[in-house]
Amino acid sequence: MLAQIRSIGAYVPENAVTNDQLAETVDTSDEWIRSHTGIGKRHIATDDQAASDLAVRAVNIAMERAGMSPEELDLIILATASGDYPGFPSTACIVQEAIGAVNAGALDISAGCTGFVYGLEMARGMIVSGCSKNILVAGVEVLTHITNWKDRDTCVLFGDGAGAAVVTSGEDGGSGILDSILRAEGSGAPYLIRKAGGSRQPYTGKDDAYQDLFIQMDGQKVYKFAVRVNTDLVGMFFQRHNLTIDDIAYIVPHQANVRIIQAAAKRLGIPMEKFYLNIEEYANTSAASIPLALNEMSEKGILKRGDLILTLGFGAGLTYGGNLIRW
């Protein structure tokens, strides 16, 4: 038995802020952001929109496309680094109630930008083992609500969005998640971090303590890590399955920075056309970026049944991983 992505849906907030608009309030420029990242704009949630609000919009689309009612779901796995609440309750539980998935368990997973890749593999394990039948895997972020808008090193990078996939059982030899690689490198934990608000550094409300509630990043450390692990992941998948790039229709990487993908592509000797990129429109939406890309590719008819695709995720933790999928 295979675990198959039966449908996919996505949602981004309507408000798109261009680099030029951002440069009116932050010391930056369209030229710097484009040349250093490939980002042209980002979609930003309204003040009253939380992660679950975006997730529900994406989930409803995916459920409708799957032709499935919420009661049929056994499990909701929601990947996020910017959930409705810090820690608990999980955003997955808020979504479960909102859509009426009365027979489902619900949990969040914290794997940074690799969250959706991790979630797909967890769903595959649950389905192939026979423990679950119908699983919703979502990746959702409202990173702009946990961004320090005075820190130009980070605030130009992120955007908000949600993507969701319905994963069910499929027949051997057909469409499905064929393999995944999940890895972590916890030594890099300090490089991408929200320091306050947990048990390590409870939020005190004193002086500048609020600054540690925002995303902090050592950009160059993350950059080097990302280029290395993207290169390694592709090599590992190719070796495990005896593949060449000619066998792969598209590589769908986490959309963090176009330069990371260019550097990995160069090391691998793979043409850039093999990588699907939409970072110019959405910026880095962390756990949402891969399902947003898959949804866009599906809607545009870029993905054909039977195509082999490779997802590549990397992010806070540090985590990385990928899924080999027959679409």
Binding site for ligand ACO (CB under 6 A): 28, 32, 36-37, 81, 112-113, 152-153, 156, 192, 219-220, 222-223, 226, 256-257, 260, 284, 286, 315-316
Residue 183 pairs with which residues in a beta bridge?
A: 320
Q: Which is nearer to ligand ACO, 63 or 156 (CB)?
A: 156
Shortest distance in whole angstroms from residue 98 CB to ligand ACO: 25
Residue 79 carries which side chain, given as an amino acid letter?
A
Q: Which long-range contacts (CB under 8 A, 24 or more apart) does 36-40 make?
A: 36/257, 36/259, 37/156, 37/157, 37/257, 37/258, 37/259, 37/279, 37/283, 38/257, 38/258, 38/259, 38/277, 38/279, 38/280, 39/156, 39/157, 39/279, 39/280, 39/283, 39/284, 40/280, 40/281
Catalytic residues: 113, 254, 284
CB of 169 to ligand ACO, least distance (A): 31
Cβ distance to ligand ACO smaller for residue 18 or 129: 18
By beta-carbon proximity to ligand ACO, the closer residue of 120 and 156 is 156
Closer to ligand ACO by Cβ: residue 60 or 110: 110
Closest CA to 223 of 184, 255, 195, 256: 256
CB of 211 to ligand ACO, least distance (A): 17
Closer of 125 and 219 to ligand ACO (Cβ): 219
Residue nearest ligand ACO (C-beta atom): 219
| Shortest reach from residue 259's CB to ligand ACO, in Å | 6
CB 168, min distance to ligand ACO, A: 29
